[in-house]
């Protein structure tokens, strides 16, 4: 049985991981979680946080190391991605090796390289939180693609919309809108349609009540997959409504899926519009709970972990390329605007 250490008590750590762990500890005996000992949490910026019963809050990782046996502990790394290398390195030096890391794994390829080097040097068993890849909806879509029930997959379109003004204005952990929702959708697209190259990208600022947060408004990303399909992902963090929709266009049907938009209602929907039929299903899809439970079981089984990083690492590389693409486009636009002013 594994003890649990949660590092970082922001939205992911305090709002998602701790409540799910609390439910699992109460309702899932024999799930590789130690239910007799308390969960340990570390976040120097949240020492007054209200946590679930059975959770103790410590000020430093060194104090957590004195409380825990690293070999029998799963660490949930829920800190913002920009400072993640330092956190993983500190955990590794303290002897912790079973790491469950929130997405995105890294904010650019340079950071990705440092994390991969730490993983090799310290023999870290690292799993990236990627619940969309194991969700019931994604599994059904993957089965439809694999079986060829509606012909060839031609196009994937993903729309992720939600208002994120308060968090974007109050925090600085995610540098761009590419780092927030898009990693989930990008992983699904790569799983369904295979390897891809970047075909285009855009971003915009988030603005509210006179406050502007650069590059945190919207992000779009287009891919051309090696097998032929295309993917277009739109993430709008300024939208007035919440939506997580995926549309798969096949030669013989249009398949539309809706992922749960929050933990308050863990149901997904799948609609199929084909020439000879139209169907709609609604089914449970509590993907993050299932993902965390499976991760603990995999840590307990002791299997290899290197292959799990492939999709997450490719997503980091594509997003990094998209950021550089947008930066270059902005520089060109600024240069053109300057030339016009000079000419005037």
Q: How far apart are CA 239 and CA 83, in angstroms?
A: 28
Phi, psi of 227, rounded to the nearest 5 degrees: -85, -5
The answer, yes or no, to whether residue 343 has pLDDT greater than 80, is: no
Closest by Cα among 136, 125, 142, 138 to 295: 125
Q: How confident is the model at residue 103 (pLDDT cuts 50, 70, 90)?
A: very high
Query: What pLDDT shows up at residue 48?
Result: 76
In contact, 107 and 114? CB cutoff 8 Å: no
Q: Which two tokens stand for residue 1?
A: 């049985």
Phi, psi of 324, rounded to the nearest 5 degrees: -65, -35
Q: What is the CATH T-level fold of the domain 3-130+294-320, as seen in this structure?
A: Rossmann fold (3.40.50)
Model pLDDT for residues 213-223, shown as the tens digit of each residue: 999 999 999 99
Q: What is the mean pLDDT of residues 104-129?
A: 95
* Other Cβ atoms closer than 10 A to 151: 12
Model pLDDT for residues 239-264, shown as the tens digit of each residue: 999 999 999 999 999 999 999 998 78
Could you give the 3-state DSSP secondary structure of residue 151? Answer: coil
Q: What percent of the chain is predicted at pLDDT more than 70?
A: 95
The answer, yes or no, to whether residue 338 has pLDDT greater than 90, is: no
Q: Please, where in the chain does CATH 3.40.50.720 lie?
A: 3-130+294-320
Could you give the 3-state DSSP secondary structure of residue 287? Answer: helix
Instruction: Please report, to the nearest 10 degrees, the dihedral formed by the alpha carbons of residues 177, 179, 182, 183 taken in order.
Output: 180
DSSP code of 35?
S
Q: State the chain's mean pLDDT as an integer.
A: 93
Query: What pLDDT shows up at residue 292?
Result: 93
Query: What pLDDT shows up at residue 46?
Result: 83
The answer, yes or no, to whether residue 306 has pLDDT greater than 70, is: no
Q: How confident is the model at residue 302 (pLDDT cuts 50, 70, 90)?
A: confident
CATH class of 132-286: alpha beta
In contact, 46 and 9? CB cutoff 8 Å: yes
Q: How confident is the model at residue 33 (pLDDT cuts 50, 70, 90)?
A: confident
Q: Indicate the pTM of the whole model.
A: 0.92
């Amino acid at each position: 049985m594994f003890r649990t250490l949660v590092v970082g008590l922001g939205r992911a750590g305090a709002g998602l991981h701790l409540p799910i762990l609390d439910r699992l500890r109460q309702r899932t005996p024999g799930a590789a979680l130690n239910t007799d000992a308390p969960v340990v949490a570390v976040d120097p910026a949240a020492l007054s946080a209200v946590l679930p019963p059975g959770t103790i809050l410590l000020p430093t990782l060194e104090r957590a190391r004195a409380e825990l046996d690293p070999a029998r502990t799963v660490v949930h790394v829920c800190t913002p991605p920009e400072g993640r290398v330092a956190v993983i390195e500190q955990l590794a030096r303290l002897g912790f090796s079973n790491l469950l890391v929130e997405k995105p794994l890294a904010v650019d390829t340079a950071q990705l390289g440092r994390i991969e080097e730490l993983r090799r040097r310290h023999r870290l068993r690292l799993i990236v939180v990627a619940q969309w890849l194991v969700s019931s909806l994604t599994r059904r879509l993957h089965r439809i693609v694999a079986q060829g029930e509606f012909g060839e997959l031609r196009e994937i379109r993903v729309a992720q919309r939600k208002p994120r003004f308060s968090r974007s204005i109050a925090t600085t952990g995610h540098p761009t809108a590419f780092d927030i929702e898009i990693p989930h959708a990008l992983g699904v697209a790569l799983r369904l349609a295979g390897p891809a190259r970047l075909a285009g990208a855009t971003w915009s600022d988030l603005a509210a009540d006179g406050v502007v947060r650069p590059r945190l408004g919207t992000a779009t990303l287009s891919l051309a997959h090696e097998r032929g399909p295309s993917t277009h992902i739109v993430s709008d963090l300024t939208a007035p409504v919440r939506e997580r929709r995926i549309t798969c266009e096949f030669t013989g049907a249009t398949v539309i899926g809706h992922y749960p938009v929050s933990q308050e209602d863990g149901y997904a929907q799948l609609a199929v519009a084909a020439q000879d039929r139209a169907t709609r299903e609604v089914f449970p899809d509590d993907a993050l709970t299932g993902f965390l439970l499976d991760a603990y079981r995999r840590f307990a089984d002791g299997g290899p972990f290197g292959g799990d990083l492939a999709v997450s690492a490719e997503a980091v590389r594509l997003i990094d390329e998209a950021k550089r693409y947008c930066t270059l486009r902005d520089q060109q636009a600024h240069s053109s605007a300057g030339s016009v002013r000079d000419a005037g």
